[in-house]
Every structure is written in structure tokens, then in C-alpha cells.
Amino acid sequence: MMKVERGEIFSRALTGRCPNCGQFGMFKNWFRLHKRCPNCGMELEKEESGFYFGTTSIGYVLSIILVIIPVCILVVKDMLSMWVGVGIGIAGSIMLCTLLYPLMLSWVIMLYYVVQADELPINASEQ
Ligand SMILES: [Zn+2]
């Protein structure tokens, strides 16, 4: 029996809270996590390179879908000039990745711990 079910992990991490204790405070700043949760002490460091890599990958994919493809369509339809399109594409991708970074990082953490719910310290201690 798991103390924290997958649905609970999902809703906690999706809103930027610690999947283990449900408290806010995992984020050290916009782009980085604390090494450990300041509330429950869960290690975030162990997987952090994987979390950041996953977040960057999601950022690329979202940029392509939400920025690059629409800009390309506008350029092809002659609604934007080539170089304005390139400028919007670059600036838009950077803005999107920057603004959504903490949100995407939360999604990656959410996915990781929903898949491996029994790795949460609070669940592992039950075994
Ligand atoms: Zn915690």
C-alpha cells in the first residue's frame, strides 16, 4: 500500500509542489531546484540532471509546435518576411522556454514520480 497515490503525486507536482510532502518550496529559483526539499528533505539532486535534460527537451518540442511551425506557415503564406519570421522564431522560442521553464520542470518531476511512485521516500519507508 502506498501512502501517496499516483493521483496525489500528479496533482502535487503539476502545481509545483513537492511530490513527497505536498509543500511548496522545491524551487531555489526560476530555473533550479533545491538539492533537497526544504520541508521533508527528499533528495532532488540525485535525478536533477535528468530533470533538467527532460525539461530542455520539452522546451524544444513546445517551441517547434507553438512557435516555429506557426511562423513557418506565416512565412510560406507571405504574411511574414523571411527575416522577421526568423527573428520571431528565435525570440519566441527563448521567451517560451524561459517563461514556461518552472512549469515544464514540474511536469518532468511529476512524470518521473508518477511512473516510479514507490521511489518516493514516504512510500519507500513503508516496505
Ligand atoms: Zn517535500
User: With contact defined as beta carbons under 8 Å apart, do 108 and 47 qualify?
Assistant: no
Q: How far apart are CA 91 and CA 87, in angstroms?
A: 6
List 54's β-bridge partners, or say none: none
- Above 60 in pLDDT, residue 126? no
Query: How far, in Å, from the CA of 14 to the mean position of ligand 1?
Result: 14
- For residue 45, what pLDDT is reported? 86
pLDDT at 64: 97
> pTM for this one?
0.87
**For residue 25, how far is its CA from the centre of ligand 1 (angstroms)?**
8
pLDDT tens profile 12-65 = 998 999 999 999 999 999 999 999 999 999 999 888 889 999 999 999 999 999
pLDDT band at 9 (very low <50, low <70, confident <90, very high): very high
pLDDT of residue 21: 95
Residue among 73, 76, 77, 53 nearest 64 (CA): 73
Residue 33's DSSP bridge partners are: 27
Percent of the chain with pLDDT strictly greater than 70? 98
- State the DSSP code for 31: S
Given pLDDT bands bounded at 50, 70 and 90, which one contains residue 85?
very high
Q: How many domains does the chain have?
A: 1
For residue 90, what pLDDT is reported? 97
Ligand 1 center to residue 44 CA distance, Å?
9
Distance between Cα 56 and ligand 1 center (Å): 24
Ligand 1 centre and the CA of 36: distance in Å? 8
Report yes or no on 91 lying in a domain: yes
**Is 76 inside any structural domain?**
yes
Q: Is the pLDDT of residue 127 over 60?
A: no
Q: H-helix or E-strand containing 105?
A: helix 82-115
Residue 82 in grid coordinates: 523571411
Domain that holds residue 85: 6-124
Structural domain contains residue 37: yes
- Whether residue 104 is contained in a domain is answered as yes
Residue type, 44: L
Is the CB of residue 42 less than 8 Å from the CB of residue 18? yes
What are the residues facing 3 on neighbouring strands?
Answer: none
Q: What is the rounded average pLDDT for all residues in the chain?
A: 93
Per the domain annotation, does 18 fall within a domain?
yes
Q: From ligand 1's centre to the CA of 98, what distance in Å?
A: 25
Residue 56 lies in a domain: yes
Any domain includes 1: no
